[in-house]
Amino acid sequence: FGEVASVDGFASSDHALFRMAFCQVQLKDLDSAAETYGQLAESFSDSQYANESNLLVGRIRYQQKDHEAANAAFSKVVEQGGAFAIEAKHWQCRILLAAGSNDEALALATEAIANAGDSEFLVNLKMNQADAQVAKGNHEEARKLYLAILNDHADNTLSADALYNAVFSAYQLALHEEVIVDGTRFSEKFGSHNLLPDVQHLVAESQLTLKQYETAEATLRKLVENHPDHPKHENWTVRIAASLYVQKKYEDVTSYIDGVNESIESAQGKAEAHYLAGASSFFLKQDEPALTKLNESLAASPGGNYADDALLFISRIHANAEKYEEAVKTASKLIDTFESSNVIDQAHFRRGDFLNDSKQYDKAIEDYQVVIERFPNSVYLVPSLYGKAWCELRLDKHETSVATFTVVIDNHAQHELHPASLLGRLICRHQLDEFDGVVEDANTVLKSTADNAIKMEAVYQRGLAEVALEKNEAVVASFTSLLEDYPKFDRIDSVLYELGWAYGELEETEKSIGMFDRVAKEFPQSQFLADAHFRVAESLYSDEKYADSVGRYEASLAADPSNSLKENVLHKLGWAFYQQDEFAKAQEQFESQIKAFAEGTQALQGRFMNAECLHKLGDFEKALAVFEQFDASELESAQMKTLAWLHAGQAASQLKQYDKALVSLNLVVENSGEP
């Protein structure tokens, strides 16, 4: 063909060059072919092959990615017009799209479509038009154009690409129902197309997003089984684990990952697989294997997509072990390293909780405040408000705490922490002596929750507020209902104790003592044990059951009572022995009382009774010495004063200290009121 074309005057030289270039293409000598086609177009501009030759030059240069030369050739075709101009505009659209000239590409495609008639490149131009909309970010408009291609040109070879692109645009628009519908349509219409796995992948991801977890798992398993050599096979393998994870099938996740782990080669695949296994172990309360897997995830891809989530779980594992310093350090690493993380709000919340649990309340408040100020739409907003309020309460910032709890109460009435926030606020109000407010909040809590733990605490706090308000009938009602409805409440001893006092105020003595007796018998570790025994002892003493009262007074002493109570117990124990004429035991108790509480409220009476016992025992020397240690005129009753002077005088007389005897006996006469 070359030789013939070079013959001067040969009438078919243009055709010879055209065939020569074709042969060069077949021989894959594309540069020579382009030059030959170019020579033909230039030397034989009037040839029937000239315009097609320019088109073929453009195609070759486009294939070689020499877009500048290709566009120059296509421009010549467009300039010449004719049947090849529409195809040339198609290729020019592709060049413009590759260069990012999306507006120009869109304009050219739109203009060409209007003039394409029934050109075989009409569908290509429509695809260019839709692709330009995608490149401009107009996925909604692009999707409409792709679907129109499918509907108007169902038998065109590009209809599969159009439907795939429509599915992809729907995915970009988060139209996941449409992704599934159109993806199913693709599977039915193009079941053997090479894009089928990619479409089904998008369908699976949409199913996961729509929480169709079991269906997504099935879709992914079919992909793995049917396309073992696909480049995304590893990705689908790991996504099966993700589908199990969101179904909370944590044991299945760990066993599945163990089975496929060796087939996962990419760093990102390993990172995701180890993360899913670690997170699943965490929820299975298997913290040690969880920690191992999560660290393996970090090692595989320290800055990858799952590194921030892995750090978050690691911090929680440390907190579970009460290693709060490590927990805070790990959460801080997440916050400092991944400032744009999707879990940054949770990271601040968790770190706040770790600091809260380690009693670093001021620092905890700082983290909670970050969530409150920067993430007002976060699911951790209300938990952060709640945590902040409790920190303020523990810092004795009760008014501030009330205000923070109130934000939850007023603005988040449907949140699960609403009842607990009411409970927190009423506890603060108790500290502020706002007892009516405590009762009001408690009643609201009881109407708004079915949580027994919260309800029983609300009833308890209401009862304490009613104690402070001296509403004894209300106290009885609250605490009686607590006993009946929540017999396993962890402070039943306190409930019984307060009921004992309330019944006492209502002069229902038998019920009162019954409550104190229950505390004494049923709660040997109670902080109220000593006082409960004492109250029962006092009742027995009043009923003149002195021997029985001794045992209860002694039980009160054994329970290590407070100093103010202990003095009374020692004093009354002495009296209980005295009433039984056990003067030696009585004297021992009174003497113990004086030694322990020399300046106590019962000290004067204790000294008097100590002396009385010694007098009864005939130990006049010691008795007189004790009588002389106090001023009998300061005793409470006239009878005690008289007895003190009389017995002091008798003791002195027995010791033949008559002057002292006369002094004491004269005081008896002088204060007797008789001449």
pLDDT digit string (tens) for 202-222?
999 999 999 999 999 999 999
Q: Report the alpha-carbon distance of residue 478 to residue 486 in Å, rounded.
A: 12
CATH topology of domain 594-675: 1.25.40
Q: Which of 249, 223, 245 is nearest to 236 (CA)?
A: 223
Question: How far from each other are the two terminal CA atoms of the chain, in whole angstroms?
Answer: 167
Chain mean pLDDT for the chain: 95
C-alpha 105/C-alpha 92 separation (Å) is 8
Dihedral sign from CA coordinates of 137, 140, 144, 147: positive
CB 231 within 8 Å of CB 237: no
CB contact set of 525 (below 8 Å; sequence gap of 6+): none
Q: What is the pTM of this model?
A: 0.80
- Cα separation, 585 vs 587, in Å, equals 5
SS (H, E, C) 449-482: CCCHHHHHHHHHHHHHHHHHCCCHHHHHHHHHHH
Tens of pLDDT along 432-469?
Answer: 999 999 999 999 999 999 999 999 999 999 999 999 99
Tell how many helices (H) and how many strands (E) occur in the chain.
37, 0
Element (H, E) at 75: helix 67-80
pLDDT > 90 in the chain, percent: 93
For the segment 510-551, what is each residue's pLDDT rounded down to a tens digit? Answer: 999 999 999 999 999 999 999 999 999 999 999 999 999 999
* Dihedral over Cα of 375, 376, 378, 381: its sign: positive
- Count CB atoms within 10 A of the CB of residue 669: 11
Q: In which region does residue 264 sit, left (phi positive, over 0), alpha (psi from -120 to 50) or beta (all else)?
A: beta
Query: Residue 488 corresponds to which amino acid?
Result: K
* Neighbour count for residue 220 (Cβ, 10 Å): 27
Q: What is the mean pLDDT of the segment spanning 274-299?
A: 98
pLDDT at 7 exceeding the cut of 80: no
How many other C-beta atoms lie within 10 A of the C-beta of residue 355? 24
Phi, psi torsion values for 557, nearest 5 degrees: -65, -40
Question: What residue type is 173 in one-letter code?
Answer: L
Look at residue 598 and give its three-state secondary structure. Answer: coil
Whole-angstrom Cα distance, residue 213 to residue 183?
17
Indicate if the alpha-carbon torsion angle 187, 189, 194, 198 is positive or negative.
negative
**pLDDT 10s digits, 639-672:** 999 999 999 999 999 999 999 999 999 999 988 7
pLDDT of residue 675: 46
Q: What is the pLDDT of residues 153-175, one digit of tens each?
A: 999 999 999 999 999 999 999 99
